[in-house]
Structure 1
Amino acid sequence: MNFPASYWTSPLQLAAYGSPIIKDVAQRILTFAGPGKHLVIGGGVGPLLAELHAAGIDAWGIEELRYPTTEENRVIRTRLTQLFTTGLPYEANSFDYIFCLNVFEFLSTDIIAQTFRELHRVCRHGAYLELHTRQNRASERKTIQGREWWEDQSFRAGFRKHPTYYRVVAYGELDTYPNQIVIPLAKIRHDVFARHPIDVLLKNRTLHMDMSRETGPRSDAHMVRYELAAEWIRPGDRVVDCACGLGYGTAQLAARSTGRHFIGVDLDATAIAYAKDNFGDYFNIDFVCASATELGFIESSSIDCLVSFETLEHLPDYSKFLAEVDRVLKPDGRFIASVPNLWMDHTGKDPNPNHHHVFDYQKLKLAAEAHNLEIEVRYHQTAPGGFKLLDAKRTLERKPLDIIDEDPEWLVIVASSNKAIKNTQGISYCHPIYTTGHTKPLLLVDFAKYYQNPWLYRQLIQIGERCANKDTLGSRIDWALHTCPKDSADYGAALTVLGYTLQTENQSQTIGKFDIFAAQVDEYYSQTIKTTNPHVRRWRISLAYCAATWSMSLGEHNASLAWLDRIHQENALEFSPLIGTKIVSAWFLKGVIHLSHGKTEEAFADFRSGTTETKRLLSALDQRTWGEEDSTFPFVFHEIAEISLWGKRCALAVQWSAIFLHSPGKFWEITMTEKFDNSTHPVSFSPSTALPRGSETIWVETSMLARKVNYYLDRLFGLRIVRSRVLSRIIPHQD
């Protein structure tokens, strides 16, 4: 590690300031730890500290070499210190997180334990390690070990796996032995660690184990399920983790999801005491000692999501548990569960004395359906050392619901309550975000007032939350279309979702379906001419937009223009200025179609109308849009940004109209600026940014509306409007 002084002033080191590699490391730190006071330990960390300081982070550094600390402090103002990691001159809990970047492997094995203890003393919340697991050419690394050894050392010093562990470290990659590994760690408080030493846990691991303090495939298999479950928890959800054991999974759900209230339930009082001590206060979780089959302390229809892994097979009568799941879930609730798949011996029984049942997918499906639970998504999981597949790799993969030719170790399901389409009588509607904590619901989100069955909103309408399975979603659509009045908001919403769903299918599968859909939209228009329901107005606009984009994809531009005209005949302000995303983009699309057919005068009149309409809509924003002063919903700003984006494009089209006559490609390039580009110049465009589809560049449209518009313009003209480019490159370490 004794680099010459010239190394630190070489062009390579000076270029590190602001380099993509340093920016990438800084972004990893911010994604893991967020804003705070952080300590970075690693060779030549000056450029990294400078990058973190520029982001507003209170970052400090340690470098064991004399020269770089002297040289780089010229840039980072005394934030870089030269000292040894086994004796940090800081008080306890001085830093939120400590980042050790390729340092520990250069320490002697006999001081590793001491070094971990010192990190534990100085950090408040945790540590993040990057380590090499192989020797370099110069043989300078003194401690060469694998992931499990390093993790065991950290656990014995008072750390556990950080809740973000399986976001940072891919589950499948844990089967590999790479040159470099990452270990995200969370700190266990000193007093808690003293009350629950790791050796006591290990003695009882066959009954209960805190998997966040165990290394290896058994821990990985359990914890990655919770990482998966967290992705299915919706914003504001009230969540129950049934049979939570020592509570590590409940904590992971609380840390990794957007849920608002978490309850951990287990029959073992000792396990609940451990969970409260380790996770209760820190994650604000209510841990309750109770049976999974007797959840009487939870009110009926009050839970948004219930998670229960490896529980059903342990219950003599699992139907009692599923009946409780059905009772406590809201009509739009979700159930996430796992069971061993076909764990049985030659007698057909599970040899585990604690398992009372053998499950396969069909048995699990029938059990769920008997209790108003409809499976949306199915996953198969394997891991080394399982009951059947001892040498299996770590996998957790989504599978078709009807797959029959695979035999995984575990089944994981995500199911929706179907009470919303059966009987919701007497169940008061409460949306966890839009109703809870608000004295008067905003018109935009007052679903209880304007919908026949507001419980359908999350399962049918809300993008990102609605049923993920086509058939499950279809059952909600069919129910609304055959049950709700044809002049209701429910009917209009279901018809809109149906239209967009059909558009995602292969054109050969939807031949003739557009005419049927268009006739249904016409009927809805005739049924709702005199509507006073603002949400019906919303769906009239959305249906016309859906029909317009669909007819565009069929090449029926005249029909598309007629549908776009319908949008502009509606008074958007009866619902909200925020529906202006479709109003203004409709003007833009009309302009594009007119340009494509040589009608430049009509086209630029359309663009001018789009600009004028944008100003009118934005000037109409008021208290009905913003809501209560202390509880404005973030989606409002997103919609305003979308309106502004389409208005900006219309304005640019008008401003640069003369260019279109002699250079239409340049006109298009200028008009299609990025969302937050405030220049009057076109977005920079070069061969390196114009990579073909299927390359390592991933194109991400910024909204559902943008995705739909891009799809149809791509079909019509080979163009894409929104180009928010996310380029992810993994640069191999040069040893």
Structure 2
Amino acid sequence: MQTRSSNSRLVDLILESCGYGKLLECGNGTDLLLPKLLEAGVDGYAVEQSQADVKRINASFPGRGIEGSALELPFSDESFETVVSIGCLERLNAGDITAALGELYRVSSRYVFLRVSTGLSAEAPLPHASQDRTWWETHCFEAGFRKHPLFYQINPYESLNSDGAHILIPLEKVPRAALQHYDLTVLVEERLLHTDMLRETGRRSDAHCIRYHKAAEYIRPGDRVLDVACGQGYGSHILYSISKARSVIGIDLSDFSIDYANAHYGRSDAVRFEVGDAQALSQIPDNSIDFITAFETIEHVPDPDAYLTQLKRVLKPSGRLMVCAPNNWVDETGKDPNPYHLHVYTWERLIDECGSYFLLENGFFQTAGGGMRYHHSPRSWIEVPPRKESEQDGEWVLLLCMADPVAGKGTAYHETAWNQPDSPEFHVSAFARDYENPWLVRGMVAIGMRARCEKLLSDMQEQVLKASSPASADFGSALCGQIYAAAQQDGCTESHFQELQEAALRYAAIATPSPHQLRWQVSLLFAIGEAARRHGKAGVAADFYSRCAAIDVMPYSPLLGNKTLDALYWLSIYALAKGDLSQVRTYLEKSVGEAQRLISASWLNIIGTPTKPLPFGFPEISQLMDRAARAAYMLDSLDDYAAKPGLFRYESQGFFERQLKAASARTQELETTVNSLARELISAEASRQELGHQVAETEARAQDLGRQVIALDARAQELARNLASTQSPLRFHMARGVRFLSRRISRLISKNNP
């Protein structure tokens, strides 16, 4: 069972990194992944040395088993998009590793995925099972591979601090043409300043690559990304490969680096590299970039203010910048020993300088270990609020910044995240039409896109409430954010809550609203209902839920009906609390009917067009249907409520709600088990340490006794030598004593016998 579960997870990792292309598994006669790969829809094959193993495979999967050796694979070049080797390479002789890797490179057109055993494995000793990750990765790079761009999703940063029983090495082929011009030797000369970190192993490589992985988490769909001082282009490759960026452009001063990057990572217009000055960015137009990575560059430029000015110039409103600098890298003289570093940065200095040009969204401290600072520390990545007071520290400091969307009002807006159908009846993402400042959607409104810092969101909302028209979609979105924030606060005063209610009612009173005004009218009324319910104000909550449910959401989108059905649900719960089952039934039946009506309408404002459907449309309409399922379940058990109130409570959740709740319960159960095992492990470790102390004390006593024995032995030997040196005089005196005693005894006998 454990092996099947482990294999399922391994297959998931392979598919998540390499996709569904034609795949070859180089087996070792056991733990074959092929059945799971075929089950997942992969066009998979397995090569085995043993005829018996091949026969066994083909008995279950005809034509899928092929006889052959990893040293001479019976396939033409690039026959498979992905080649997987599980427990195979470490069984080979030392002289065969390079040849086997060469064969994997030859028959793969794109990826190779390795799992190899280490010295920590419980398996029988294998020729290379004692080799570590560095050894294996070095051999892979020498064979023409580089790290897969999703390498650090397979191997999380902190997990690389130690090797387990097995190590996973997802690889990507370096293009043959690039290898012919740029083998590993050409990187040696530039290594102090630049190198291709996807072709290098160890802490330094991990530290550089993981920043791009972390940065990619903040890239929005359709973003145009700029990688400043991109070096050999490996980071740009990672950003494009693991995000939904539309394109990435890398800029660097080095002609060699740009030539190398285009040869290895260029991808037509999607990923390209140009020679350019990070402090000028002359080839980048104003307000044309959505996301910038600027790693370990600010300490190199002569004028950091001019550099930050250029980054601000090219970044769109709500665009993001992730900047990184070495953290106080100074020696005993107080200076940075790196001759290329023109400035010494600290956490405080980076906040001051970046905060002068951008909004600060998040902060990070990174440590790799093995360097000038924290030499013996493990790899770590710590997220912190972007304020000067911080108890954390690290080798590098990073900030996630945002170009102020409020200040960007008036800048031309073009939708890049979602397809825009050419119809005046399309509303759900028609932000340029219905907002005074559509840039607010990315920075302040849309979940998954907006700032993740609550304080920053609150500050933006306050600015929008002061600066925008009270009837605008901008104002409605900011007010809604403020209400939801108040709902989460225990200390929201009655007067403040009353002000929010009045503001929501004023907005809801807008006559003939635009589609997005209508969206915020419904959302505001629902939000006040939520806040009132969470603060125990049932009467106020019921009033606002009723107002919300009374509005027809169709002029905006059926997706907004999720608010309608949730409002009706809570109205039914309040009616149930009053014992009014007739009213409960009315609300639930209305929920079912409303879901039917909404789903029967045009799908233009649900998915856009069928050829390029909006990615959020089907998930949100599925939520609507699950809310309708909840109402249907409740109606089905309503007649039995008096006799079975607990059952009715269980039925008061949709189908997917139940699955999520069961999964959450299972997760909590597993977490409890893990925590219990962790406590046992900690206890066992404490006992082990205590036993260790006892053993150490016993050893110390034994050593002390040993020293005493040695001393006594030395004394005994000394006494023996002394005894040996006095033996002759002793014998003489003993003989005289015996003769003396003999004479005395003879005289006494003579006296007693006259």
Please give the range of the TM-score, normalised by the shorter of the 2 chains.
0.7 to 0.9
Q: Please name the residue that 2:295 is paired with.
A: 309
- From the superposition, tell whether residues 310 and 691 of structure 1 become closer, same or farther in structure 2 (CA, over 3 Å): closer
Find 2:506's aligned residue among 505, 523, 533: 523
- Cα distance in 2 between the residues matched to 1:616 and 1:407: 57
Counterpart of 1:455 in structure 2: which amino acid?
W
Deviation readout 1:290-348 (Å, 9 max, x if unpaired):
11122122111111111110000001112111111111111111111100111123443
Within a 5 Å distance, the mapping from 1:682-693 to structure 2 comes to 689=666, 691=668
Q: Please name the residue that 1:730 is paired with.
A: none
Within a 5 Å distance, the mapping from 1:506-655 to structure 2 comes to 507-508=490-491, 513-526=496-509, 528=510, 530-655=511-636
Find 2:37's aligned residue among 34, 44, 52: 52
Q: Please name the residue that 1:695 is paired with.
A: 672
Is residue 91 of structure 2 the alignment partner of residue 106 of structure 1? yes
Q: Please name the residue that 1:73 is paired with.
A: 58
Is residue 414 of structure 2 the alignment partner of residue 430 of structure 1? yes
Task: Mark the structure with the bigger radius of gyration.
Answer: 2
Within a 5 Å distance, the mapping from 1:105-184 to structure 2 comes to 105-134=90-119, 139-143=124-128, 144-184=130-170
Within a 5 Å distance, the mapping from 1:152-231 to structure 2 comes to 152-231=138-217
Deviation readout 1:339-376 (Å, 9 max, x if unpaired):
011112344332211111111122212212332x1111
Secondary structure class of the residue paired with 2:225: strand
Q: CA deviation at 1:574?
A: 1.9
Q: Please name the residue that 2:444 is paired with.
A: 460
- Cα distance in 1 between the residues matched to 2:344 and 2:592: 64
Secondary structure class of the residue paired with 1:313: coil
- From the superposition, tell whether residues 690 and 86 of structure 1 become closer, same or farther in structure 2 (CA, over 3 Å): closer
- Cα distance in 2 between the residues matched to 1:472 and 1:593: 36
Q: Please name the residue that 2:279 is paired with.
A: 293
- From the superposition, tell whether residues 691 and 663 of structure 1 become closer, same or farther in structure 2 (CA, over 3 Å): farther
Counterpart of 1:657 in structure 2: which amino acid?
L
- From the superposition, tell whether residues 274 and 488 of structure 1 become closer, same or farther in structure 2 (CA, over 3 Å): same
- Normalized per residue, the structure richer in helix is 2
Is residue 464 of structure 2 the alignment partner of residue 480 of structure 1? yes
Q: CA deviation at 1:692?
A: 5.2
Q: CA deviation at 1:696?
A: 6.4
Secondary structure class of the residue paired with 2:318: strand
Find 1:502's aligned residue among 468, 480, 486: 486
Is residue 70 of structure 2 the alignment partner of residue 89 of structure 1? no
- From the superposition, tell whether residues 83 and 510 of structure 1 become closer, same or farther in structure 2 (CA, over 3 Å): farther
Q: Please name the residue that 1:326 is paired with.
A: 312
Find 2:428's aligned residue among 444, 456, 460: 444
Secondary structure class of the residue paired with 2:299: helix
Residue pair 1:46, 1:75 contacting (<8 A) in 2 also: no
Q: CA deviation at 1:517?
A: 2.2
Q: Please name the residue that 2:475 is paired with.
A: 491
Q: Please name the residue that 1:3 is paired with.
A: none
- From the superposition, tell whether residues 482 and 688 of structure 1 become closer, same or farther in structure 2 (CA, over 3 Å): closer
Residue pair 1:304, 1:333 contacting (<8 A) in 2 also: yes
Residue pair 1:234, 1:258 contacting (<8 A) in 2 also: yes
Residue pair 1:545, 1:582 contacting (<8 A) in 2 also: yes
Q: CA deviation at 1:24?
A: 2.4
Counterpart of 1:378 in structure 2: which amino acid?
G
Q: CA deviation at 1:283?
A: 8.6
Deviation readout 1:3-24 (Å, 9 max, x if unpaired):
xxxxxxxxx8xx97xx434332
- From the superposition, tell whether residues 413 and 651 of structure 1 become closer, same or farther in structure 2 (CA, over 3 Å): same
Deviation readout 1:424-465 (Å, 9 max, x if unpaired):
33x211121237796879321111111111111111101011
Within a 5 Å distance, the mapping from 1:343-382 to structure 2 comes to 343-371=329-357, 373-382=358-367
Residue pair 1:106, 1:140 contacting (<8 A) in 2 also: no
Q: Please name the residue that 2:707 is paired with.
A: none
Deviation readout 1:197-251 (Å, 9 max, x if unpaired):
1122234311321010000111111111111111111111010001000000000
- From the superposition, tell whether residues 183 and 550 of structure 1 become closer, same or farther in structure 2 (CA, over 3 Å): same
Q: Please name the residue that 2:246 is paired with.
A: 260
Within a 5 Å distance, the mapping from 1:716-731 to structure 2 comes to none
- Cα distance in 1 between the residues matched to 2:522 and 2:40: 42
Secondary structure class of the residue paired with 1:634: coil
Counterpart of 2:508 in structure 1: which amino acid?
Y
Is residue 267 of structure 2 the alignment partner of residue 281 of structure 1? yes
Q: CA deviation at 1:195?
A: 1.4
Secondary structure class of the residue paired with 1:564: helix
Residue pair 1:38, 1:95 contacting (<8 A) in 2 also: yes
Find 1:63's aligned residue among 31, 37, 48: 48
- From the superposition, tell whether residues 63 and 598 of structure 1 become closer, same or farther in structure 2 (CA, over 3 Å): farther
- From the superposition, tell whether residues 282 and 252 of structure 1 become closer, same or farther in structure 2 (CA, over 3 Å): farther
Aligned pairs, number: 673
Q: Please name the residue that 1:708 is paired with.
A: none
Secondary structure class of the residue paired with 1:312: coil
Q: Give ranges in structure 2 of 5+ residues lacking alignment.
A: 676-754
Is residue 385 of structure 2 the alignment partner of residue 408 of structure 1? no
Residue pair 1:337, 1:413 contacting (<8 A) in 2 also: yes
Is residue 254 of structure 2 the alignment partner of residue 271 of structure 1? no
Residue pair 2:365, 2:395 contacting (<8 A) in 1 also: yes
- From the superposition, tell whether residues 438 and 325 of structure 1 become closer, same or farther in structure 2 (CA, over 3 Å): farther
Counterpart of 1:261 in structure 2: which amino acid?
S
Residue pair 2:607, 2:615 contacting (<8 A) in 1 also: no
- Cα distance in 2 between the residues matched to 1:692 and 1:607: 34
Secondary structure class of the residue paired with 2:479: helix
Secondary structure class of the residue paired with 1:379: strand
Percent identity over paired residues: 30
- Cα distance in 2 between the residues matched to 1:25 and 1:149: 22
- Cα distance in 1 between the residues matched to 2:191 and 2:197: 9
Of 158-167 and 585-594, more deviation after overlay is shown by 585-594
Residue pair 1:656, 1:667 contacting (<8 A) in 2 also: yes
Secondary structure class of the residue paired with 2:338: coil
- From the superposition, tell whether residues 539 and 697 of structure 1 become closer, same or farther in structure 2 (CA, over 3 Å): farther
Residue pair 1:549, 1:560 contacting (<8 A) in 2 also: yes
- Cα distance in 1 between the residues matched to 2:256 and 2:660: 61
CA RMSD of aligned residues (A): 2.6
Deviation readout 1:37-58 (Å, 9 max, x if unpaired):
1112234568632222222210
Secondary structure class of the residue paired with 1:287: strand
- Cα distance in 1 between the residues matched to 2:173 and 2:425: 41
- From the superposition, tell whether residues 137 and 239 of structure 1 become closer, same or farther in structure 2 (CA, over 3 Å): closer
Of 117-126 and 383-392, more deviation after overlay is shown by 383-392
- From the superposition, tell whether residues 312 and 616 of structure 1 become closer, same or farther in structure 2 (CA, over 3 Å): same
- Cα distance in 1 between the residues matched to 2:425 and 2:216: 28
Counterpart of 1:111 in structure 2: which amino acid?
D
Q: CA deviation at 1:685?
A: 6.8
Residue pair 2:487, 2:532 contacting (<8 A) in 1 also: no
- Cα distance in 1 between the residues matched to 2:472 and 2:662: 47
